[in-house]
Structure formats: structure tokens, C-alpha cells
Amino acid sequence: MADAASQVLLGSGLTILSQPLMYVKVLIQVGYEPLPPTIGRNIFGRQVCQLPGLFCYAQHIASIDGKRGLFTGLTPRLCSGVLGTVVHGKVLQDLGPGNVQKEVTPSFDQVIKETTREMMARSAATLITHPFHVITLRSMVQFIGRESKYCGLYDSIVTIYREEGILGFFAGLIPRLLGDIISLWLCNSLAYLVNTYALDSGVSTMSEMKSYSQAVTGFFASMLTYPFVLVSNLMAVNNCGLAGGCPPYSPIYTSWIDCWCMLQKEGNMSRGNSLFFRKVPFGKTYCCDLRMLT
């Protein structure tokens, strides 16, 4: 019980701290670019026409809604985090204890068993908390059209149910689930391969090295599965009555596969993945003096 409470408190704290970052990221994902590009340098030192990064974007939001506006959507996101932690822990408990023996290099069968166990717990948590995730995204995206359709948690639930029914609470669920599952299996499989075949078991700091490899493979897996996150978020706000879910910011998609294909065709599968050194997205026109780049 104490461990669960500490996880909830820690998770809630991280959620609060990261809320402005997620807010900016979501608005970028839907294609909202209120600020013109500037002449800057990329990581290689070359002059490029790039869009403002996280801090300039956040400053723009704060100039309109104040610093408090950077925490729009925090309440449903906190509810999602707390409920997700509880459900995840409960499912793991119901599935029984994992591997009691903490071996430095677990067997492949143990990796499959633990990954399957974790997949079931994460999927259950995602399924239960997705309605709060949808409300969070829509409350953020309404900044674009200055709407007030999704302000309170209760009012948002009533609005979604009245306009879209039960299915409205699960908009974008399939790509989100697929992304989580693929990312988990990629991370654990790559970590197992690296720990088993690439690291020398005789090294005295083996446990530390393998914990680092787990973090690196996790980051790599999240990068590969980012398109699922993008598509899920776009589908959660698509055609929901908000300006940010309709053209010109977002086409009306018939399905998440249609969304995926269109983003892939435009070369926008990584839109919002980076909050710094941002290139001008496809289909956007700005008054940028290209003569300064020569």
C-alpha cells in the first residue's frame, strides 16, 4: 500500500511538472503554428529556417492565457495518471508474482513471461484511463479556436457522451494500444539481446550496465513507435467540433489508418517529436526571408 501511494505521489508530481511540455507538444502535433519561423542553426551549425522551440511556444501561450494557462488539461491528466497506476498495480497483483529470483541475465522464457504480464497490466490501464486522455487532449486543443467546450471534467464527459456516445471516449485508442504494446516488446527484446550477447558477464558493474541498456533500448523503442502516439492523439481530437480537429489544422480522417497514410505521404510522421531544432512542417507557408540562408 505504501509503495502504491508513493508511486501515485511521484507520478502526480512528474505529471504537474511536465504539463506545459505536453501542452506545447500536443498543439504542435495537430499542426498549430502561431509563430513564424526564424533564422537559426541546426545541430550541425548550418543556417536554416526553423520554427520556435518549446520555450518560445510556451511563452506565447502564457502571453494569452497567463502562466496558469500552461496547465490546461491538468485535472483529467492527473485523474488518468492516478487511476492508471492503481489499475496497473491491481492487474499485476491479480496475475500473481513475477520472477522471484532476480538474475543478472534472465532467460528468454522469463523475458516473454514478464513482458506478457506487463503488457496485460499496461493495456488494462490504458483502456480504463483513455477517456481521461481524450478529455485532456481536447481541453488543450481548444486553445486554437479559443473554445470553451471542454473546460470542466464533468461537463466534458457529458459533452462527449451526448455528441459521440460511448465510442467518443475511446477515440484514438487502437493506435495508442498498438504503440504501447510494440514499444514494450521492442524494448524488452532489444534489452535481452544486448544484455545476453553484447555485454560481458564478467564485468563487475554488470547490473548497472544492464540497467543503462534497458533505458537506452526503451528510448529507442519509443522513438520507433512515436507515429502511433501522433496518430492516436490526432484521432482523439479529429472532427470533435473544435477548430484544432478540423481543417486547416487537421483533415477529417475516416480511420486511424487513413490518418497514418496521410501523415506518411506528407512526411509528417515525426511532427511534434522534437521541441527544439524544429523544421517547417509540410504544407505550411511563412514569410521567411530565404535570402538570409545563402
Is residue 226 pLDDT above 90, yes or no?
A: yes
Is residue 38 pLDDT above 70, yes or no?
A: yes
* Residue 211 pLDDT level (bands cut at 50, 70, 90): low
- The domain limits of the chain are 1-293
* Residue 293 pLDDT level (bands cut at 50, 70, 90): very low
Mean pLDDT taken over the chain: 85
Is residue 287 pLDDT above 80, yes or no?
A: no
Residues listed for the chain: 294
How confident is the model over 261-279, as pLDDT tens digits?
999 998 889 998 988 878 7
How confident is the model over 51-88, as pLDDT tens digits?
888 999 999 999 999 999 999 999 999 999 999 999 99
Is residue 18 pLDDT above 90, yes or no?
A: yes
- The pLDDT of residue 200 is 55
Measured CA to CA, the distance from residue 109 to residue 107 in angstroms comes to: 5
In the predicted model, what is the mean pLDDT of residues 231-245? Answer: 94
- The pLDDT of residue 52 is 86
CATH superfamily for domain 1-293? Mitochondrial carrier domain (1.50.40.10)
- The pLDDT of residue 294 is 40
Q: Which of 58-72, 191-205, 210-224 has the lowest mean pLDDT?
A: 191-205
Measured CA to CA, the distance from residue 144 to residue 146 in angstroms comes to: 6
CA atoms within 13 A on the CB side of 57: 28
The full DSSP string for the chain is: -HHHHHHHHHHHHHHHHHHHHHHHHHHHHTT---S--EEEE-TTS-EEEEE--HHHHHHHHHHHH-GGGGGTTHHHHHHHHHHHHHHHHHHHHHT----SS--SS--HHHHHHHHHHHHHHHHHHHHHHHHHHHHHHHHHHTTTTT--SS-SHHHHHHHHHHHH-GGGGGTTHHHHHHHHHHHHHHHHHHHHHIIIIIS-TT-TTHHHHHHHHHHHHHHHHHHHTHHHHHHHHHHHHTTSSSGGGSTTTS---SSHHHHHHHHHHHT-TTTTS-SSSEEPPTT------GGGG-
- The pLDDT of residue 292 is 38
- The pLDDT of residue 254 is 94
- The pLDDT of residue 100 is 45
User: Could you give the maximum distance between any two Cα atoms of the chain, in Å?
Assistant: 65
